[in-house]
C-alpha cells in the first residue's frame, strides 16, 4: 500500500544551496500534507504543512508546494544548513487534524560543507 511515495531515498546538497525533497501521492481524498524531520533515536519533528486549498506555504527557510493535479508536493529548504541533515518524511491525511497520517518512506538529506 504505497499511497505516499518518496522516490529518492537520499539527497546530498552543499551548504547554502537549495534542497528540494519530493513526494507523490495516489489517494485523491488526502487534504492535508505535512513534512516531518527525524534524527536517529528521536521521534518525527513537525516542520511545515499545507492544506489542499493552498498551493504554497512558507515558514522561514522552508517552503512546501502542492500540485493537486499532479498529486505531488515538494519541500524546499533554502539556504541548506548542516543541521538540516536528517531523514525527511512526507505524510498525508484525509480529514486534517482528526485523521491518521500515512507516511512516505523518507528521504535522507545530507548537507555538506
Verify binding: residue 43, another protein, rule CB under 8 A. Answer: yes
Verify binding: residue 30, another protein, rule CB under 8 A. Answer: no
* Cα-trace Rg, the chain: 13
Stretch that binds another protein, among 13-21, 38-46, 64-72, 74-82 (CB under 8 A): 38-46
Verify binding: residue 40, another protein, rule CB under 8 A. Answer: no
Estimate to the nearest angstrom the gap between the alpha carbon of 77 and the chain centroid: 10
Check residue 57 and report its DSSP letter. Answer: E
Verify binding: residue 36, another protein, rule CB under 8 A. Answer: yes
Of the candidate residues 8, 27, 74, 105, the single one contacting another protein (CB under 8 A):
105
Of the candidate residues 66, 80, 92, 104, the single one contacting another protein (CB under 8 A):
104
The half-sphere exposure of 3 on its side-chain side, counting CA atoms within 13 A, is 12
Nearby residues of 9 by Cβ (< 8 Å), 6 or more positions away: 105, 106, 107, 108
Verify binding: residue 103, another protein, rule CB under 8 A. Answer: yes
Q: Cα(86)–Cα(106) distance, rounded to whole angstroms?
A: 10
Residues that bind another protein (CB under 8 A): 32, 34, 36, 41-46, 49, 51, 89, 91, 95-106
Amino acid at each position: 500500500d504505497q499511497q505516499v511515495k518518496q522516490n529518492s531515498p537520499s539527497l546530498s546538497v552543499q551548504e547554502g544551496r537549495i534542497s528540494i525533497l519530493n513526494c507523490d501521492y495516489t489517494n485523491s481524498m488526502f487534504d492535508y500534507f505535512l513534512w516531518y524531520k527525524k534524527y536517529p533515536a528521536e521521534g518525527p519533528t513537525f516542520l511545515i504543512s499545507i492544506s489542499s486549498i493552498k498551493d504554497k506555504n512558507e515558514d522561514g527557510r522552508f517552503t512546501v508546494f502542492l500540485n493537486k493535479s499532479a498529486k505531488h508536493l515538494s519541500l524546499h529548504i533554502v539556504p541548506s544548513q548542516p543541521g538540516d541533515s536528517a531523514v525527511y518524511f512526507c505524510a498525508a491525511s484525509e480529514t486534517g487534524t482528526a485523521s491518521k497520517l500515512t507516511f512516505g518512506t523518507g528521504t535522507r538529506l545530507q548537507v555538506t560543507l
